[in-house]
Amino acid sequence: MAANLPPRRLVATGSVTWARPPMDYAPASKAEQLWMHLNSHGEHWLVRSDIAHVLPIPLAEYLQNGRTDTVQAVKETPYRSVYRLHLAEDRWYVKLYRPTRWLHCLRAFLGCDPAHHEFVTALRLENRGVPVPPALAWGRLPDGTTLIVSAALNPAETLADLLRKRAASETDAAAPFRNRIIEQTARLVARLHDLGLCHHDLHADNLLIWYSPEGAQVVLLDFREVKRRTMNTCRTRANLALLGQSVALLTHKTERRRFLEAYRHHRRTLSIARTDVFRWARAIERAMRKGCVRYWRRANKRYISPSRRVYRLQLGHWHLWAASTLPRSVAHACLQIAQNGQLFPSCRLIKSSASGTTAEVQMPGWHKPVIVKSFGRGKSFWSRLGRRYQSLARRAWLAGWQLLEAQLPTAKPLALIERRSWLGVSASFLVLEKLEDAVTLREYAEQMNEKHLLRQLGCSIARLLRLAHERGFSHPDLKASNILVQYRSAGPRIFFVDVTHVRLGCLSLARRARDLARLYVSFRGDRRLGRADWLRFLFTYLGTHKPAWKALWRRIHTLAARKVQRNLRRNRPLS
Residue pLDDT, tens place only, 244-281: 999 988 888 888 999 999 999 999 888 887 778 889 99
pLDDT at position 423 over 80 = no
Note the residue count of the chain: 575
Mean pLDDT over each residue of the chain, to the nearest integer: 81
Question: Which one has a higher pLDDT value, 80 or 54?
Answer: 80
Alpha-carbon dihedral angle through residues 274, 279, 284, 287, given to the nearest 10 degrees: -170
Q: What is the pLDDT of residue 21?
A: 33
Q: What is the pLDDT of residue 25?
A: 32
- pTM for this model (two decimals): 0.81
In the structure, what pLDDT confidence band is assigned to residue 359 with cuts at 50, 70 and 90? confident
Q: What is the pLDDT of residue 26?
A: 38
CB–CB of 47/147 below 8 Å?
Answer: no
The 10s digit of each residue's pLDDT in 333-347 is 888 877 776 555 567
Closest by Cα among 133, 134, 140, 79 to 104: 79
248 sits in the region (left: phi over 0; alpha: psi -120 to 50; else beta) called alpha
Which letter does DSSP use for residue 411 in this model? P
Distance between CA atoms of residues 486 and 495, nearest Å: 8
List C-alpha distances in Å: 506 to 289, 488, 510, 545, 557: 9, 33, 12, 18, 23
Q: What is the pLDDT of residue 569?
A: 87
Across 50-59, 136-145, 306-315, 382-391, the highest mean pLDDT is recorded for: 306-315
571 sits in the region (left: phi over 0; alpha: psi -120 to 50; else beta) called left
